[in-house]
Chain A
């Protein structure tokens, strides 16, 4: 898994024609994938804290995760309530158990 693969979008997504613009599903897959990698590495590091390679991966994925979340939230609204918006966008999308944020 790479951080800035073709799902990068630094244009705030006003460019609907741009084929490089990732879909919502692709952006969510990034968020979910990096989150999973961090959780998995976290458990591994709990019992192998001296593994420098795992530690480096963890560092990289944390950075990627932060960027992926930021990207997603900018376009589709908050993934947690710790993301301020000018209106209360927390209510906008269906919930994950209803198939929202797939």
Chain B
């Protein structure tokens, strides 16, 4: 969707128009292809794919990422407010980030419960169900 927006916003523009819009450098390197980069011109970086090998850290990262994406969409909506054709899909995408944030929060709580459960097992091999036996062999 974002690629489609960029494509349609630049469709058929001339080199002069690209330059006037501040896309001269972009046009030089990529023409009117949709190239994954930041607004500041930095090409896509795998740094964005933060994987820590730790479910809690990863999900917290994801919660923050959804909020950062929401914030970015809000800034874009402000910048594009005169163009309803653009604002409409941006508002849709912004709302999706909020739903994803909600679901990640629920997933995080599930993971925390699961890990807490694991720690309980790690306490030992006590037979908790056996009420007759008081001398636990932990």
A contact set with B: CB distance below 8 Å: 40, 43-44, 46-48, 96-99
Contact = CB atoms under 8 A, between A and B. Distances in A.
A40 B102 CA distance: 12
Contacts of A96: 4
Contacts of B99: 40, 43
B41 interface: no
Interface of B: 3-4, 7-8, 99-100, 103, 106-107, 110
Contacts of A40: 99
A43 B8 contact: no
A97 B103 contact: no
Contact of B4 (A43, A46, A47, A97): A97
A43 to B, nearest CB: 5
B83 to A, nearest CB: 16
A97 B3 contact: yes
B3 to A, nearest CB: 7
Interface hub of A48, A97, A99 (most chain B Cβ within 10 A): A97
5 contacts: A40-B99, A43-B99, A44-B103, A47-B103, A96-B4
Given A40-B99, A47-B103, A47-B110, 14 more contacts: A43-B99, A43-B103, A44-B103, A46-B103, A46-B107, A47-B107, A48-B106, A96-B4, A97-B3, A97-B4, A97-B7, A97-B8, A98-B7, A99-B8
